[in-house]
Amino acid sequence: MTTNIAYIAILLTVTAIASGVSIAEDADSESANLSSSSTLLGQSSSIIELVDFVREARDYARDAGCEKAYQEFDNKTGEFVRGDLYIYAYDFLGTNVAHPFRPDFIGKDKANLTDPNGVALIQDLADCSRRGEDFTYFIFPNPDHSDRDELRVGYAAKVDDNWWVGSGVYLSDVPAFFQSESRENLVAFVDEAAKYAEENGREKALQAFNDRNGSFVRGNLYIFAYDYNGTTLSLPYQPELLGSNRMDAKDSNGIAFLRNCIDQAKRGEGYLYYIYPNPGKNMDDDLKLSYVKGMDSDWCVGAGIYASESNTTNATSPTYLGDISSS
């Protein structure tokens, strides 16, 4: 309860600053305020600063060359460490080539690194870079908070065909650790839907997935489906969007969640975070952990669980990556 109150209070403060109104709201309106605040996070100066910072590092790397840039990005007292903003760099094979706070990473293959919820953060960031530059979410230790694991909005940009740079803004007070049982049930649900589609064909499966009274809508847990061009195939709580192209849809923090979703599916399957309307909260925004799976060669299915309903917690200690000294 204390964690939830702190989370809401911080997000309400963001809302108040942005709108210039009082945050003296009664308890019944807290959920609505949480939604509004989440939306406003994407417009905050910290996000703008993040994008500018990564672009500055990218431009520096292009001008200075990789070797000089690696040295600068490794320097924790250098120009590319500013508060909780810092630059890290990887090649497109997943090898870390620079990191000011994880020297144990340098030269290591981190392509298959996953965060505590199973999100493949390096692969996700590389996919963002392949588009030129883009956002994603993941959990990573915050050096400003004694390396506590925290949710992060990451931004990555391509330097050239060989490597990319990234940084992120920590959402320190957003609980984002989903229980393993919830994640296992989520995967089982998506696997069940995928099996149904394989056995019954796409058309019949999509009819079942879009049936609000059917077996693939279980409260706020439901199957969504898209083709790889971004066309909406299943979205039972938003039927007005069926047939529309949502490839460029973004959440309230500017994350192109459908592009991230499709990239995951093209790799086979995987988890991702984004903010999305929760049917259990009158379609107010909520942090969501989704699991997606590729079907055939041109479409995918997925489902997600919402943070407000999944007993999420703040970071635990020690970090999931282990102490640097013991790595």
User: What's the pLDDT tens digit per position in 284-323?
Assistant: 999 999 999 999 889 999 999 999 988 888 866 678 998 7
Residue 125's pLDDT is: 98
Q: Answer for the pair 151, 292: CB distance below 8 angstroms, yes or no.
A: no
Global pTM value: 0.84
Q: Which of 17, 57, 71 has the alpha carbon at shortest distance from 41?
A: 17
Segment among 38-47, 69-78, 228-237, 304-313 with least mean pLDDT: 38-47
Residue 11's pLDDT is: 37
Inform me whether the pLDDT recorded for 18 exceeds 50: no
Residue 325's pLDDT is: 52
Residue 44's pLDDT is: 55
- Mean pLDDT, the chain, whole residue set: 87
Q: What distances in angstroms separate CA 1 from CA 7, 77, 139, one per listed residue?
A: 10, 38, 22
The structural domains of the chain, ordered by start, are 2-43 (no CATH), 45-174 (3.30.450.20), 180-309 (3.30.450.20)
Residue 8's pLDDT is: 33
Distance CA 298, CA 136 (A): 23
Residue 311's pLDDT is: 82
Inform me whether the pLDDT recorded for 220 exceeds 90: yes
Once rounded to an integer, what is the mean pLDDT over residues 163-169? 97
pLDDT tens for 248-280 read: 999 988 899 999 999 999 999 999 999 999 999
Residue 24's pLDDT is: 29
